[in-house]
Amino acid sequence: MRIALVGAGNLATNLGDALVAANHEVLQVYSRTWESAETLASRLHCMAVTSVEELVLDADLYIVALKDSVLEEILPRLVQGREQALWVHTAGSVSMSIWENRGVKHYGVFYPLQTFSKSRNVDFSKIPIFLEANLPSDLYRLKGLAASITDKICEADSKQRASLHLAAVFACNFTNAMYVISEQLLKEQGLSFDALLPLVNETAAKVHALSPLEAQTGPAVRYDLGVINKHLAMLESHALYRDVYEQLSRCIHYEQTNIKKDDKL
């Protein structure tokens, strides 16, 4: 398949690498800014374009990996004159219905569930890709494409994908926010975040064997007010972190007392 990549962000960069490694023909990279387009295009040995008009008309597949707000705005101009191709977007939170009434017949979603940074290459073969398509024949084509870069091909409708994306924000983005807070707190005592890496590893490894609910430890689950109050006092000069600590301790306490009870009903 001859592919045009619309977007040059974290996801487009990692996906582009995986597609080229799997010997797909990536024709062009589009980005509004020349620097982003050029950086990724030269990495993939293809052409950089910064206006929709320069985008090839005869690609087989257009992969649109743009910020949700930009996607909505640019879509009409993107598909114009390219209605015969297969169009997919890569956003967890955008419904497949965004392609409806655009004059396009072949469309779907190609959602790799992972956290991507330009500065870090990930092993795509372990990333689940959630697919959705308007036509069974297009789902089949997308499965073929996905199979060339990963072993984990899944189907999800738009509602399920939205839930996956929301859950991923908690499991990844908010988890990383916890790491940032840890790092800041340690920095103040002249300690390195590295001291926590074995703990970070085990916390992630643990939920492969135990359910997250069973894996929970710490002062909040024991409702150890002595420790909780000591910690809140230590956070006195960090109003934001103090609020996070209080709220998440409440959340853990709620989960441990309520979810388990419900599950046993």
Site for a second copy in 192-231 (CB under 8 A): 193, 195-204, 206-222, 224-227, 230-231
Residues numbered 14-53 forming contacts with a second copy, rule: CB under 8 A: none
Residues numbered 82-101 forming contacts with a second copy, rule: CB under 8 A: 93
Stretch that binds a second copy, among 17-25, 27-35, 134-142, 185-193 (CB under 8 A): 185-193
CA torsion sign, 237 to 172 to 201 to 249? positive
Contact 117, 10 (CB under 8 A): yes
Q: Which of 2, 10, 81, 153 binds a second copy (CB under 8 A)?
A: 10
Nearer to a second copy, 170 or 265 (CB): 170
Give the strands of the sheet with 86-89, arranged side by side.
Answer: 47-49, 25-30, 2-6, 61-64, 86-89, 106-112, 129-133, 153-155
Q: Which of 126, 147, 153, 155 binds a second copy (CB under 8 A)?
A: 126
Q: Please tell me whether residue 69 binds a second copy under the rule CB under 8 A.
A: yes
Q: Please tell me whether residue 158 binds a second copy under the rule CB under 8 A.
A: no
Q: Please tell me whether residue 169 binds a second copy under the rule CB under 8 A.
A: yes
Contact 20, 149 (CB under 8 A): no
Nearer to a second copy, 116 or 143 (CB): 116
Q: Please tell me whether residue 242 binds a second copy under the rule CB under 8 A.
A: no
In whole angstroms, the minimum distance from the beta carbon of 108 to a second copy comes to 19
Torsion of CA 29, 161, 131, 51, to 10 degrees: -20
Considering CB under 8 A, how many residues would be counted as binding a second copy? 99
3-class DSSP assignment, residue 49: strand
Would you tell me the crossing angle of helices 10-21 and 34-44 to the nearest 10 degrees? 20
Q: Please tell me whether residue 80 binds a second copy under the rule CB under 8 A.
A: no
Would you tell me the crossing angle of helices 225-234 and 239-264 to the nearest 10 degrees? 150
